[in-house]
């Protein structure tokens, strides 16, 4: 064998050995997040004892892949690929083990489906979500509320008037004057109630309690069973897609106007859409999917558009109704869907 050929073979063999060695060394302090895929949701939904229909369009969920035990070779590849994010392990897992993280993801997916089912059914005229008070989300220090309220408390009555939602409590407080005595009843985390009385503070000439609130809801039984047959997917980010897929499946009209639609975003019982993790990687997955429309939480739309450009119509949404109105603007049929009044 000529010397040059021997040298080439030697270099190649050493390179292969080096690659193999790098692939055997795991970096347990890092996690790689890379683009996953999009999947049509409707075929994975199982609705027992309910009439279902099939649309010409598709509503798809988008996933990311999380490599929780990457090799050194994969880390090197991640540095060279803009679509892959390298994170510290604690940022992704916290103090959880890999199995605990998978369990959490499955629980979040199950909860997301449960909420999506109720939000969709509410839009179809079913009564499966009951407004039951004003939930205390934040408390400003040094205010009347800081002495008597705790996070997670639910105000259910104020000034002898039932409080069904956040709007009710806000209106009652605004109807009072600074310095007025303000009495209210609170549902505690343990299910018991207590009564409180404070003197309202003054903020810019208006009565002020000192809390940030949202509507507290109670979830009623579903009229029929709804299951989602998906494997190895977890987390809450499919909430918007699940809600739209359920509406599509339970209505004879073409909600999607024949389009291939990808949707991402959490959904709460009031139909509000929240941000998701891995939006950059999800955007790359959507780029490769042939999607025509991508519905994205409004706080993440700029990041999404920076990746997709003009390749896909990217529309920001804050609520389920925003998503429905967007589909209607593309020709989607909203017949049978009850929109929230603005």
Q: Report the CATH number that the domain containing residue 192 is assigned in CATH.
A: 2.30.42.10
Give CA–CA dist 325/333, Å, rounded: 10
- At 301, is the pLDDT very low, low, confident or very high (cuts 50, 70, 90)? very high
Shared domain for 23 and 121, answered yes or no, is yes
- At 179, is the pLDDT very low, low, confident or very high (cuts 50, 70, 90)? very high
CB atoms within 10 A of CB 187: 19
Give CA–CA dist 122/105, Å, rounded: 26
| Residue 334 counted as domain residue | no
Shared domain for 119 and 21, answered yes or no, is yes
Looking at residue 15, its pLDDT comes to 55
- At 79, is the pLDDT very low, low, confident or very high (cuts 50, 70, 90)? low
| Residue 99 counted as domain residue | yes
Shared domain for 101 and 20, answered yes or no, is yes
| Residue, of 222 and 195, whose pLDDT is higher | 195
| pLDDT value at 19 more than 50 | no
| Residue 273 counted as domain residue | yes
Looking at residue 296, its pLDDT comes to 96
Give CA–CA dist 342/340, Å, rounded: 6
| pLDDT value at 143 more than 50 | yes
Among 45-49, 94-98, 109-113, name the one with the lowest average pLDDT: 94-98
Q: 246 with 120: CB under 8 angstroms?
A: yes
| pLDDT value at 87 more than 80 | no
- At 25, is the pLDDT very low, low, confident or very high (cuts 50, 70, 90)? very low
Rounded to a whole number, what is the distance in angstroms from the first to the last CA of the chain? 82
Q: pTM to 2 decimals? A: 0.78
- At 106, is the pLDDT very low, low, confident or very high (cuts 50, 70, 90)? confident
Report the number of distinct structural domains present in the chain. 2
| Residue 337 counted as domain residue | no
Shared domain for 35 and 146, answered yes or no, is no
Shared domain for 109 and 162, answered yes or no, is no
Looking at residue 321, its pLDDT comes to 95
Shared domain for 24 and 137, answered yes or no, is no
Shared domain for 174 and 204, answered yes or no, is yes
Phi and psi torsions of 27, nearest 5°? -105, 95
Give CA–CA dist 294/305, Å, rounded: 10
| pLDDT value at 305 more than 90 | yes
Looking at residue 289, its pLDDT comes to 87
Looking at residue 218, its pLDDT comes to 86
| Residue 339 counted as domain residue | no
Mean predicted lDDT score pLDDT of the chain: 85
Shared domain for 250 and 323, answered yes or no, is yes
| Residue 5 counted as domain residue | no
Q: 322 with 299: CB under 8 angstroms?
A: no
Instruction: Calculate mean pLDDT across residues 24-38.
Output: 73
Shared domain for 28 and 43, answered yes or no, is yes
Q: Show the domain range for 152.
A: 129-219
| Residue 341 counted as domain residue | no
Looking at residue 170, its pLDDT comes to 93
- At 181, is the pLDDT very low, low, confident or very high (cuts 50, 70, 90)? very high
| pLDDT value at 230 more than 80 | no
Shared domain for 27 and 135, answered yes or no, is no
Q: 164 with 131: CB under 8 angstroms?
A: yes
| pLDDT value at 81 more than 80 | no
* pLDDT, tens digit, 9 for 90 and up, residues 251-278: 888 999 999 999 999 999 889 999 998 8
Shared domain for 21 and 109, answered yes or no, is yes
Decide which of 219, 248, 280 is a domain's last residue: 219
- At 342, is the pLDDT very low, low, confident or very high (cuts 50, 70, 90)? very low
Decide which of 219, 237, 252 is a domain's last residue: 219
Of 83, 90, 43, nearest to 64 (Cα)?
Answer: 83
Decide which of 219, 254, 274 is a domain's last residue: 219
Phi and psi torsions of 313, nearest 5°? -70, 115
Q: Report the CATH number that the domain containing residue 18 is assigned in CATH.
A: 3.30.230
- Where helices occur in the chain by DSSP H, the ranges are 3-24, 72-80, 89-93, 98-123, 166-174, 239-250, 279-287, 301-308, 320-329
Looking at residue 10, its pLDDT comes to 58
| Residue 6 counted as domain residue | no
Shared domain for 237 and 298, answered yes or no, is yes
């Amino acid at each position: 064998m000529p010397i040059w050929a021997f040298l080439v073979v030697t270099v190649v063999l050493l390179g292969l050995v080096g690659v193999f060695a790098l692939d055997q060394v795991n970096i347990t302090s890092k996690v790689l997040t890379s683009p996953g895929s999009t999947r049509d949701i409707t075929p994975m939904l199982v609705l027992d004892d309910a009439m279902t229909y099939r649309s010409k369009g598709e509503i798809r969920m988008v996933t990311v892949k999380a490599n929780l035990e990457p090799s050194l070779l994969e880390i090197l590849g991640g540095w060279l690929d803009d679509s892959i994010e390298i994170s510290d392990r604690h940022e992704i897992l916290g103090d959880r083990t890999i199995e605990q993280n998978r369990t959490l993801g499955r629980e979040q997916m199950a909860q997301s489906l449960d909420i999506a089912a109720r939000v969709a059914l509410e839009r179809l005229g079913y009564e499966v979500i009951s407004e039951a008070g004003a939930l205390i989300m934040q408390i400003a220090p040094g205010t009347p509320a800081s002495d008597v309220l705790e996070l997670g408390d639910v105000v259910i009555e104020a000034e002898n008037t039932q409080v069904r939602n956040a709007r009710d409590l806000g209106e009652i407080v605004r109807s009072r004057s600074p310095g007025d005595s303000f009495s209210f009843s609170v549902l505690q985390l343990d299910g018991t109630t207590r009564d409180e009385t404070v003197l309202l503070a003054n903020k810019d000439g208006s009565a002020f309690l000192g809390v940030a609130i949202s509507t507290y809801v109670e979830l009623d039984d579903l009229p029929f069973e709804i299951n989602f047959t998906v494997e190895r997917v977890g987390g809450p980010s499919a909430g918007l897609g699940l809600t739209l897929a359920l509406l599509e499946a339970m209505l004879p009209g073409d909600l999607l106007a024949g389009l291939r639609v990808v949707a991402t975003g959490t959904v709460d019982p009031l139909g509000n859409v929240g941000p998701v993790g891995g939006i950059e990687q999800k955007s790359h997955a959507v780029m490769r999917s042939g999607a025509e429309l991508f519905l994205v939480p409004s706080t993440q739309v700029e990041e999404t558009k920076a990746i997709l450009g003009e390749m896909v119509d990217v529309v920001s949404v804050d609520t389920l109704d925003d998503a429905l109105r967007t589909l209607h603007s593309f020709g989607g049929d909203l017949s049978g869907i009850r929109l929230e009044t603005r």
